[in-house]
C-alpha cells in the first residue's frame, strides 16, 4: 500500500473555553477540615480576581447533611461579586432554592445521577423521582428568571453499579435539558473514565443535547482527567469544570484525589492556544492561599512545579 503522506488529523479545538470553578463548593465540600466563613469568602474573592467567569460559591443543602456548607447565606452575602462573573449555587430542592434567592443567588444548579443505585444511596430516591423533585425548582427558577445548570453524576462509572450505559447518561442529560437547564455538566464522579469511555459517552449524549450546552466535570482519581478533557474538547465541548488546587478528595477511594486542578487545566488550555480569560499566576495565588489555610499540599502539579523552580 502506498502511504501518501503522514496524515496528521486536523483536530479543530474551540478557540475559547469557559472554566467553571467548583473549588469553593465541590472542592471544600469534600475537604475534612471545616473552613471558616471568612476564608471561604477570601478564596472566592481571590478567584474572582483571577478572571474565572463562573465560580460555584456554595450549596443550599441542609447543614445536617453537609456541615461544610452551613454558612451558605453568609458566604453568599459576604462575597465581592465581580461584574460579568456568575456565582451559581446548588439547590437540591425548592426550600434550598427559596433560601438561595433570599440570600441573593442569581443562578442555581441541580443534580441528577446516571446510576439508579447511586441516586438511591446518595439522595434516597430513584433517578426519575429526583428529576420530579427538581420540577418544582425549575418552575420557581423560571418565575424568577434564574438560569439553572444541570449536573449528571456517574457518567463514566458508578461506585456501586460499575459500568454505566452511555444511553442512560444521554437519557438523564436530555431530561434535564428539556426541563430547562441551560447547560448540562457531565461528571465522571469517581474518575474511572478514559478517553475511550469519554468519547463513547459524549457521542451518545451529543445526539440528544446540543454540544454547546454540554460541559465536562472530570475527576482525576485515576490520573485521566486532562486526557479526558482533551478528548471532550476535540468533540466540541467548550465548558470545563475544575477546582483550584484540585480541592476535594474522592469519597469512594480514601486518600485519592478528586476534582481536576484548575491550574493544570488552564496550563494545558493555554498551551493549546485556547483562551480562558484566566490569569494563571493569580489563580495559583488563590490555590496557595487555600492550601495554606487548610494546611494541606496542593493537588495541582503545575502549582507544585512552579513554586519550586
230 binds other proteins (CB under 8 A): yes
104 close to 73: Cβ distance less than 8 angstroms = no
Q: Which candidate, 4, 52, 3, 2, places its Cα nearest to that of 24?
A: 52
241 binds other proteins (CB under 8 A): no
**From 62, 73, 147, 252, residue interacting with other proteins (rule: CB under 8 A):** 252
Indicate the SS3 state at residue 13: coil
Residues constituting the chain = 309
User: Which of positions 145-184 make contact with other proteins (CB under 8 A)?
Assistant: 157-163
32 binds other proteins (CB under 8 A): no
Q: Which is nearer to other proteins, 56 or 220 (CB)?
A: 220
Cell numbers at 138, concatenated = 425549575
Indicate the SS3 state at residue 114: coil
Residues 6+ apart with CB under 8 A from 47: 21, 23, 24, 55, 244, 283, 286
Residues with active-site annotation: 250
87 binds other proteins (CB under 8 A): no
Beta bridge partners of 152: 112, 186
| Stretch touching other proteins by CB under 8 A, among 27-35, 53-61, 92-100, 216-224 | 216-224
Q: Which candidate, 238, 221, 144, 143, places its Cα nearest to that of 185?
A: 238
185 binds other proteins (CB under 8 A): no
User: Which of positions 7-26 make contact with other proteins (CB under 8 A)?
Assistant: 7-9, 11
| Stretch touching other proteins by CB under 8 A, among 69-77, 103-111, 282-290, 298-306 | 298-306
Instruction: Tell me the H-state helices in 163-239.
Output: 166-179, 195-206, 225-234
The site for other proteins (CB under 8 A) is made up of 1, 3-9, 11, 157-163, 190-197, 199-200, 203, 220-224, 226-227, 229-231, 234-235, 250, 252-257, 261, 264, 267-268, 270-273, 300-302, 304-306, 308-309
Amino acid at each position: 500500500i502506498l502511504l501518501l503522506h503522514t496524515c496528521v488529523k486536523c483536530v479543530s479545538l474551540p478557540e475559547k473555553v469557559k472554566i467553571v470553578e467548583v473549588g469553593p463548593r465541590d472542592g471544600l465540600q469534600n475537604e475534612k477540615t471545616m473552613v471558616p466563613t471568612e476564608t471561604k469568602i477570601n478564596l472566592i474573592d481571590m478567584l474572582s480576581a483571577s478572571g474565572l467567569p463562573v465560580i460555584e460559591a456554595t450549596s443550599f443543602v441542609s447543614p445536617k447533611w453537609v456541615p461544610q456548607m452551613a454558612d451558605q447565606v453568609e458566604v453568599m452575602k459576604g462575597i465581592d461579586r465581580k461584574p460579568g462573573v456568575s456565582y451559581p449555587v446548588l439547590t437540591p430542592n425548592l426550600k434550598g432554592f427559596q433560601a438561595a434567592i433570599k440570600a441573593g443567588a442569581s443562578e442555581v444548579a441541580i443534580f441528577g445521577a446516571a446510576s439508579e443505585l447511586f441516586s438511591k444511596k446518595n439522595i434516597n430516591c430513584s433517578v426519575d423521582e429526583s428529576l420530579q423533585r427538581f420540577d418544582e425548582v425549575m418552575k420557581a427558577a423560571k418565575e424568577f428568571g434564574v438560569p439553572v445548570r444541570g449536573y449528571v453524576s456517574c457518567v463514566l462509572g458508578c461506585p456501586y453499579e460499575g459500568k454505566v450505559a452511555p444511553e442512560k447518561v444521554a437519557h438523564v442529560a436530555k431530561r434535564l435539558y428539556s426541563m430547562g437547564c441551560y447547560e448540562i455538566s457531565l461528571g465522571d464522579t469517581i474518575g474511572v473514565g478514559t478517553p475511550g469511555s469519554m468519547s463513547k459517552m459524549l457521542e451518545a449524549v451529543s445526539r440528544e443535547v446540543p454540544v454547546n450546552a454540554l460541559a465536562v466535570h472530570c475527576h482525576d482519581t485515576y490520573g485521566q482527567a486532562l486526557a479526558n478533557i482533551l478528548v471532550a474538547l476535540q468533540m466540541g465541548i467548550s465548558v470545563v469544570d475544575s477546582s483550584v488546587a484540585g480541592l476535594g478528595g474522592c469519597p469512594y477511594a480514601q486518600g485519592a484525589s478528586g476534582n481536576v486542578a484548575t491550574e493544570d487545566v488552564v496550563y494545558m488550555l493555554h498551551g493549546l492556544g485556547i483562551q480562558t480569560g484566566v490569569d494563571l499566576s493569580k489563580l495559583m495565588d488563590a490555590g496557595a492561599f487555600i492550601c495554606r489555610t487548610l494546611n494541606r499540599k496542593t493537588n495541582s502539579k503545575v502549582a507544585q512545579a512552579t513554586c519550586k523552580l
